Amino acid sequence: MRASSSASTTQATLRPSSAWTAWGQWLALITMTVDHVTRYLLPDSWDVGWASSSIGRIAFPLFAGMVAWHGLFNTRSPFGYAKRILIIGLIAQLPYMTMPRDGFQLNITFTLALGLIWGTWLRDLARREDQEAPLQRPLLLGASLLAWWLFGSWFEYGHYGLLLIPCYMFALQALTQSTDSFQEHLLMVAASVPVLLVAGLMNSSDMAKSFTVATTLLILLLAAGAASRVPQISPGASMPRKVWLAWYPAHFAVIALLLHGPW
């Protein structure tokens, strides 16, 4: 986003350090796996539902935060990035559909990909100058909201899940502005409210809400400057790319085999 020469000295978009995402990958996969194992494999008599409502609630806001972060700061093609996420989702959908649930639902990678597409599109729409067609922008926005309302229930985490990445992108963009203005700092804080509100509304129990909101708040603090304090992960501890790409569909395939295998 371009700014005037006078404004550029007080407000400029910074590209924050992404070192934290290498740590976040491990945490996201571990907490997601804990959630799914306790939800689908362990018997109710073990009474470990608390793990899904606490540790398990870290995964989705963490995945969403990393997708929004990379979409804003680390890729030249957010739509291409979303396409790669969709490919993972298509591979994972078949074993995902064998999990016990009520009705048809698209897995979480569809929520992440569509959230990134929507958030990027909304950002581009806001930057457009439609002087010759002033009604075009509100009409397009209204159409996207109507589609969100009609089809949001098809996706895991539903309407609130689809809102999370666009709200993240709005907040992260604001928090990574360099400014000395007190008013601009207040606007940064205000930009964080929607994503925290959405994170709190996604779950029903107080425990789940607290873990989801705390994870979201941590990512906002990273955008506000804490990311620069996160050390780089050592090369030997970084997650192999093949593991990162394959884990989601592979772990569902294993769970499906254990649930429905001939034993």
Summarize pLDDT for 131-146 with one digit per residue, the tens: 566 788 889 999 999 9
Let me know: does 242 contact 88? Beta carbons within 8 Å.
Answer: no
Any domain includes 7: no
Look at residue 251 and tell me whether its pLDDT is greater than 80: yes
Counting the structural domains of the chain, the total is: 1
Q: What is the domain range of residue 54?
A: 17-129+140-253
Any domain includes 11: no
pLDDT band at 162 (very low <50, low <70, confident <90, very high): very high
Any domain includes 151: yes
List residues bridging with 106 in a β-sheet.
155
Any domain includes 258: no
Residue 64: both structure tokens together: 């969403």
pLDDT band at 240 (very low <50, low <70, confident <90, very high): very high
Distance CA 201, CA 178 (A): 30
Q: What is the pLDDT of residue 8?
A: 39
Any domain includes 259: no
- 10 Å Cβ neighbour count for 179? 16
Mean pLDDT of the chain: 90
Dihedral sign computed on CA atoms, order 144, 150, 151, 154: positive
Q: Length of the chain, please?
A: 263
